[in-house]
């Protein structure tokens, strides 16, 4: 079909579109007249654009109306086994964090207000003492996310006259286009690359510092990959002993050293003790809190961050701040943190409990229990395989992708892992009260899968 004939047909069908009022009438019983009109107008405008662009498909405008009325951001059931899944919102929050968040959401708060003096306060005050206590740092600041923390740290301590020294093995991309060389460029500081991709030695740092004695040392954790074999890099203690300002981007904030699986992840307190001026980490990776970025370190360096103009643009909202304070408070008691912070509980759950959950899920869905392994995700512990029992579903006609699609379109949407030609449900990332709804979604999807409806 030529472009012109498509356009002619598009115009013909354009004339067949219903009026806003007629379309709105289809859903007016389910909502208010004003809402129905607003949604109908948007659906018609969208369809008109599609027809003018040459669309020839058949669409059900009423389905589109209903879809637009439903919230776009929804709760989903994560059966992928990936604990920190950025596309699925990273860390689910603890009950304590949810409570703090809803209480703060409902009304006003002393966000930037000192109750005893009646004077203006600062939002960092609500987590400063907790972070000092948990990391040993002199001061702390919270911003919108981990990327913001790194950007602010570099912008606040480096400058056009004060370059940033980074090992070539750490010039990494974190994901979503966050690349260390570009972050340093955004902060306006020259970048001095040292060493090689696989090996950087202390003398590479000392040589660079001899030429630029004022330079800042930036160390970046290889979060989502590892170099293995003929590799060498400089530990945080030796780096801090050089006496320069050190920014340590540890990526995932491992606060609790009590959790065994963390042994390989750098902890914030370790870097603080070594003498790093600023330590940056995410609050919604292994820390298990809301989206936020944390900066801890020496008072002078943290103050420089707080006073930088970017700090206002990158500041944390009151809801994540409330959730973060509640999450951090749980860390005072590591055993309690491991029980109540979902990411930690899922990471450390014992095989027996997993097996029991898998059996229940298999029984309710007609699947079979097999052994399989998943990853932590979120750029943390990339080599750690979380092995355990999962439920394997057998799709009709052996098409796992079709069954996975049906599960995703369930209510609530269920996101499985597709591996080894099968559809797997990993009970590790499903909460206790999600097993029943998950089984319901599977039964409906399997029924449709068999009938092909
Ligand atoms: C994840 C990560 C970041 C970015 O943190 P976000 O919270 O995702 O913005 C920065 N640096 C490292 C090393 C990371 O692992």
Q: Which domains, ranges and CATH numbers included, belong to the chain?
A: 3-69 (no CATH), 77-87+342-451 (3.90.1150.110), 95-340 (3.40.640.10)
116 pLDDT higher than 60:
yes
- pLDDT average, residue stretch 35-53: 96
379 pLDDT higher than 80:
no
355 pLDDT higher than 60:
yes
**Do the Cβ atoms of 158 and 129 come closer than 8 Å?**
no
User: In angstroms, what is the span from residue 293 Cα to ligand 1's centroid?
Assistant: 8
Q: How many CA atoms lie within 13 A of 171 on its CB side?
A: 19
Give the pLDDT of residue 228: 86
Which is more confidently placed, 160 or 225? 160
Closest to 340 measured CA to CA, from 97, 84, 77, 132: 97
Give the pLDDT of residue 265: 81
- Cβ of residue 233 lying under 6 Å from some atom of ligand 1: no
429 pLDDT higher than 80:
yes
Query: Ligand 1, from 178, 271, 281: best to mutate by most atoms within 8 Å of Cβ?
Result: 178
- Cβ of residue 220 lying under 6 Å from some atom of ligand 1: yes
Q: In Å, how far are 85, 402, 451, 452 from 397, measured between CA atoms?
A: 30, 10, 11, 10
Query: Ligand 1, from 144, 147, 288, 290: best to mutate by most atoms within 8 Å of Cβ?
Result: 147
Residue 233: DSSP 8-state: -
**Do the Cβ atoms of 391 and 235 come closer than 8 Å?**
no
User: Which residue in this structure is represented by tokens 């603080």?
Assistant: 272
Protein residue with least CA distance to atom 5, ligand 1: 146
Give the pLDDT of residue 376: 77
Protein residue with least CA distance to atom 7, ligand 1: 146
* φ/ψ bin of 371: left (φ > 0), alpha (ψ from -120 to 50), beta (otherwise): beta
Give the pLDDT of residue 2: 43
Report the nearest atom of ligand 1 relative to the CA of 86: 8
Give the pLDDT of residue 3: 43
Give the pLDDT of residue 9: 57
CB neighbourhood size of 346 (10 A): 24
- Cβ of residue 183 lying under 6 Å from some atom of ligand 1: no
How do strand 380-393 and strand 368-377 relate by DSSP bridges? antiparallel
352 pLDDT higher than 60:
yes
Give the pLDDT of residue 258: 63
Give the pLDDT of residue 253: 74
pLDDT band for position 103 (50/70/90)? very high
Tell me which of 329-338, 373-382, 439-448 is least confident: 373-382
Token readout for 215 is 């330079």
- Cβ of residue 145 lying under 6 Å from some atom of ligand 1: yes
Give the pLDDT of residue 262: 64
Helix axes 435-451, 400-408, angle to 10 degrees: 130
Token readout for 336 is 């309690």
Q: Give the whole-angstrom CA distance, residue 364 versus residue 411.
A: 17
Q: Give the whole-angstrom CA distance, residue 375 versus residue 388.
A: 11
Rg (CA), the chain: 26
Token readout for 280 is 């940056």
Cβ neighbours of residue 326 closer than 8 Å, sequence gap 6 or more? 94, 96, 97, 99, 100, 101
Give the pLDDT of residue 93: 98
- pLDDT average, residue stretch 105-112: 98
Tell me which of 3-7, 105-109, 138-142, 334-338 is least confident: 3-7
Q: Give the whole-angstrom CA distance, residue 213 versus residue 159.
A: 14
Which is more confidently placed, 176 or 116? 116
- Cβ of residue 377 lying under 6 Å from some atom of ligand 1: no
- Cβ of residue 209 lying under 6 Å from some atom of ligand 1: no
pLDDT digits 0-9 by tens, 186-219: 989 999 999 999 999 999 999 999 999 999 999 9
Q: In Å, how far are 165, 244, 328, 432 from 205, measured between CA atoms?
A: 8, 10, 35, 50
pLDDT digits 0-9 by tens, 229-244: 899 999 999 999 999 9
4 pLDDT higher than 70:
no
The partner residues of 293 in beta bridges, in order of sequence, read 143, 282
Q: What is the pTM of this model?
A: 0.93
**pLDDT, the chain, mean:** 92
User: In angstroms, what is the span from residue 40 Cα to ligand 1's centroid?
Assistant: 41
Closest to 233 measured CA to CA, from 319, 323, 156, 171: 171
**Do the Cβ atoms of 93 and 323 come closer than 8 Å?**
yes
CB neighbourhood size of 166 (10 A): 25
Angle at 102 between CA 115 and CA 328, to 5 degrees: 70
């Amino acid at each position: 079909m030529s472009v012109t004939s498509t356009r002619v047909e598009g115009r013909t069908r354009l004339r067949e579109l219903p009026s806003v009022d007629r379309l709105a009438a289809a859903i007016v019983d389910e909502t208010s007249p004003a809402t129905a009109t607003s949604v109908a107008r948007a659906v018609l405008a969208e369809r008109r654009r599609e027809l003018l662009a040459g669309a020839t498909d058949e669409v059900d405008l009423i389905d589109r109306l209903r879809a637009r009325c439903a919230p776009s951001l929804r709760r989903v059931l994560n059966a992928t086994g990936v604990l920190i899944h950025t596309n699925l919102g990273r860390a689910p929050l603890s009950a304590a964090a949810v409570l703090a968040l809803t209480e703060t959401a409902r009304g006003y708060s002393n966000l930037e207000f000192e109750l005893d003096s009646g004077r203006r306060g600062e939002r960092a005050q609500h987590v400063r003492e907790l972070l000092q206590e948990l990391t040993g740092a002199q001061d702390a600041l919270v911003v919108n996310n981990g990327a913001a923390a790194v950007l602010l740290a570099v912008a606040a301590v480096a400058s056009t006259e004060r370059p940033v020294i980074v090992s070539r093995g750490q010039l990494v991309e974190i994901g979503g286009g966050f690349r260390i060389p570009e972050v340093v460029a955004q902060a306006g500081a020259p970048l001095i690359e040292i060493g090689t991709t696989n090996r950087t030695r202390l003398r590479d740092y000392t040589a660079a510092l001899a030429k630029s004695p004022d330079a800042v040392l930036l160390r970046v954790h290889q979060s989502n990959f590892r170099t293995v074999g003929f590799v060498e890099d400089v530990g945080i203690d030796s780096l801090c002993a050089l006496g320069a300002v050190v920014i340590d981007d540890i990526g995932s904030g491992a606060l609790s050293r009590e959790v065994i699986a963390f042994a390989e992840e750098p902890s914030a307190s370790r870097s603080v003790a070594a003498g790093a001026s600023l330590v940056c980490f995410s609050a919604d990776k292994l820390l298990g809190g809301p989206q936020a970025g944390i900066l801890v370190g020496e008072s002078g360096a943290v103050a420089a961050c707080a006073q930088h103009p970017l700090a206002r643009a990158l500041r944390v909202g009151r809801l994540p701040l409330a959730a973060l304070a509640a999450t951090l408070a749980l860390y005072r008691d590591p055993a309690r943190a491991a029980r109540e912070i979902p990411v930690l509980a899922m990471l450390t759950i014992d095989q027996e409990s997993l097996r029991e959950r898998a059996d229940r899920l298999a029984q309710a869905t007609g699947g079979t229990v097999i052994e399989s392994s998943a990853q932590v995700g979120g750029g943390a512990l990339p080599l750690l395989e979380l092995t355990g029992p999962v439920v394997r579903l057998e799709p009709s006609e052996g098409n796992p992708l079709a069954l996975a699609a049906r599960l995703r379109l369930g209510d609530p949407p269920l996101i499985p892992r597709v591996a080894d030609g099968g559809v797997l449900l990993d009970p590790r990332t499903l909460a206790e009260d999600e097993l029943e709804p998950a089984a319901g979604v599977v039964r409906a999807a399997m029924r449709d899968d068999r009938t092909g409806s």
